[in-house]
Amino acid sequence: MVVDEKKLNEFVEKVGNEWGASMGALLNFVGDRLGLFKAMAGAGGALTPEELAKKTATHPRMIKEWLAAQAAGGYVTYNPAAGTYMLPEEQALALTDENSPAYIAGFYQVLAGLYKDQEKIIEAFRTGKGLGWGDHHHYLFEGTERSFKPYYVANITTSWIPSLEGVKDKLRRGGTKIADVGCGHGVSTILMAKAYPNSEVLGFDYHRPSIEWARKEAEKEGLKNITFEVAGSTDYPGDDYDLVTFFDCFHDMSNPAGAAKHVLQTLKKKDGTWMMVEPFANDKVEDNLNPIGRLNYAASTVVCVPASLNENGPALGAQAGEERIREIVTSAGFSKFRRATQTLFNLVFEARP
Number of domains in the chain: 2
Coil vs helix vs strand at 198: coil
Same domain as 122, residue 92: no
| Confidence (pLDDT) at 229 | 98
Give the domain range for residue 127. 107-352
27 within domain boundaries: yes
Contacts of 208 (CB under 8 A, 6+ apart): 230
Alpha helices for the chain (secondary structure H): 5-34, 36-41, 49-56, 60-72, 89-96, 105-116, 118-127, 138-155, 167-173, 187-195, 208-221, 256-266, 291-299, 305-309, 322-331
Share of the chain above pLDDT 90, in %: 99
In this structure, the answer to whether residues 90 and 115 fall within a common structural domain is: no
* Pair (84, 132) in one structural domain: no
CATH number, domain with residue 328: 3.40.50.150
Which of 42, 62, 96 marks a domain boundary?
Answer: 96
Q: Are residues 62 and 113 in the same domain?
A: no
Q: What's the pLDDT at 220?
A: 96
Is residue 333 a contact partner of residue 264, using CB atoms and an 8 Å limit?
Answer: yes
Do residue 91 and residue 144 come from a single domain? no
The reported pLDDT for the residue numbered 36 is 98
Give pLDDT tens digits for 267-284: 999 899 999 999 999 999
Q: What is residue 1's predicted lDDT score, i.e. its pLDDT?
A: 84
Give a yes or no: residue 102 inside a domain. no
The pLDDT value given to residue 200: 98
Residues of the chain with pLDDT under 50: none
- The letter for the amino acid at 81 is A
Question: Is the same domain home to 234 and 347?
Answer: yes
DSSP 158: I
Residue 201 is inside which H or E element, if any? Answer: strand 200-205
Residues 57 and 133 in one domain: no
Q: Is residue 295 situated within a structural domain?
A: yes
Residue 159 sits in the same domain as residue 297: yes
CATH code, domain carrying 70: 1.10.10.10
Condensed to tens digits (0 to 9), the pLDDT of residues 171-226 reads 999 999 999 999 999 999 999 999 999 999 999 999 999 999 999 999 999 999 99
CB 234 within 8 A of CB 265: no
- Of 40, 75, 96, the position where a domain reaches its end is 96
Q: What is the pLDDT of residue 99?
A: 87
